[in-house]
Chain A
Amino acid sequence: MVHDLIQRLKTEYSDELFEQLYRLYADRAIRTAAAVTGSSASAADVVQETFIRVYRNLGSYDMSRPFEPWFNRILYNECNRYLKKHAKMVPSEISEERDLPSESDTYEFERHGEVYELVQRLDDPHRIPVILKYLNDVAEKDIADMMELNVNTVKSRLFKARKKLKEWMLQNRGGNQHGT
Chain B
Amino acid sequence: MGRDPWDQEIADGLKKGTDDAMRHKDEIWMAIKERIHNEQAQQPAEPETRFAPRESKGRRRSGRRAAGWIAGTAAAAAIVLTVSFQTAPVQAFIDQVKEWFAPQKTVEQELEGMPETSVDQLHEGADYVIYMDESRFKMVRESGVDRIELKEKPTDDRYPEVFMEISQEGIDPKSAAEQLQKELQTYPKVEANLVDEPIQGWEVRAVGGTGGKEWDDPVIRYYVFDNGQGGSFVVKQQYFLEASEGFGARFHNMMKEFHITSHHNGETTKE
A binding-site residues for B, Cβ under 8 Å: 9-13, 15, 18-19, 22-23, 26-27, 30-31, 33-35, 40-41, 43-44, 47-48, 51-53, 55-60, 62, 65, 70, 73-74, 77, 81, 92-93, 112-119, 123-125, 130-131, 134-135, 141, 144-145, 147-153, 162, 165-166
Contacts and interface: CB of A to CB of B under 8 A. Distances in A.
Most chain A CB atoms below 10 A, which of B27, B45, B244: B244
Contacts of A74: 193
A16 to B, nearest CB: 10
- For chain B, the bracket of interface size reads 35 or more
A123 B245 CA distance: 14
A18 to B, nearest CB: 7
9 contacts: A31-B18, A55-B39, A57-B53, A81-B197, A115-B16, A119-B10, A119-B17, A134-B14, A148-B248
Contacts of B50: 12-13
B32 A22 contact: yes
Contacts, number: 177
Interface of B: 6-7, 9-18, 20-25, 27-29, 31-33, 35-36, 39-40, 45, 49-54, 110, 112-115, 189, 191-195, 197, 207, 212-215, 217, 219, 241-242, 244-245, 248
Say whether chain A's binding surface is mostly helix, strand, loop, or mixed: helix
Contacts of B214: 150
A147 B212 CA distance: 10
A44 B52 CA distance: 25
Nearest to A74: B193
Most chain A CB atoms below 10 A, which of B6, B33, B189, B241: B241
A166 B6 contact: yes
A164 B219 CA distance: 31
Most chain A CB atoms below 10 A, which of B7, B53, B217: B53
Given A26-B25, A34-B18, A56-B54, A115 B9 contact: yes
Given A130-B10, A148-B219, A150-B213, A57 B193 contact: yes
Contacts of B45: 13
Given A55-B32, A92-B110, A135-B15, 11 more contacts: A12-B50, A23-B29, A35-B14, A44-B28, A56-B194, A57-B53, A58-B51, A115-B10, A116-B16, A124-B113, A148-B248
A59 B49 contact: yes
Say whether chain B's binding surface is mostly helix, strand, loop, or mixed: helix
Most chain B CB atoms below 10 A, which of A9, A116, A125, A148: A148
Nearest to B65: A56
B190 to A, nearest CB: 8
Contact of A150 (B36, B115, B193, B241): B241
B191 A144 contact: no
B212 A150 contact: yes
List the 5 closest pairs (A to B, CB-CB), nearest first: A115-B13, A116-B17, A148-B244, A59-B52, A34-B21
A52 B35 contact: yes
A9 B51 CA distance: 8
Given A26-B28, A57-B194, A119 B51 contact: no
